[in-house]
Amino acid sequence: MNMKNRHIRIEKFDTDISETTYYVFDFDVNKKKIVYQGTSKSGVYQVAHRYARLNNLPLYEIVYKGSVDDNGILHHIPVERHEITL
């Protein structure tokens, strides 16, 4: 993934209490704009695909897993990254 080029990214956050939140971001060189947020996987993917196609941008998905450290602080660790074909 070339982080210097503008792209659309779906980020999935899994928590320890089985809640999943999805975000769609429009990443540019120095900007990160949230396009959509939701808990419905199909809804988020539809928005991301439509936005990426309309703007002719590549679409990526990153899956994060919640991990609690020794101090009880939750950290989001990326566990999967891949490009989604439009």
Domain boundaries, the chain: 7-84
Give the pLDDT confidence of 3-25 residue by residue, as tens digits.
Answer: 578 999 998 877 667 778 899 99
Closest C-alpha to 43, from 83, 10, 6: 10
Indicate if the pLDDT at residue 40 is higher than 60.
Answer: yes
**Cα separation, 7 vs 54, whole angstroms:** 12
Within a 13 Å sphere around the CA of 53, how many CA atoms are in the beta-carbon half? 8
Give the pLDDT confidence of 49-61 residue by residue, as tens digits.
Answer: 999 999 999 999 8
Question: Worst-scoring range by mean pLDDT, 13-17, 21-25, 27-31, 70-74?
Answer: 13-17
**Cα separation, 77 vs 33, whole angstroms:** 21
pTM of the model: 0.76
In this prediction, residue 84 carries a pLDDT of 87
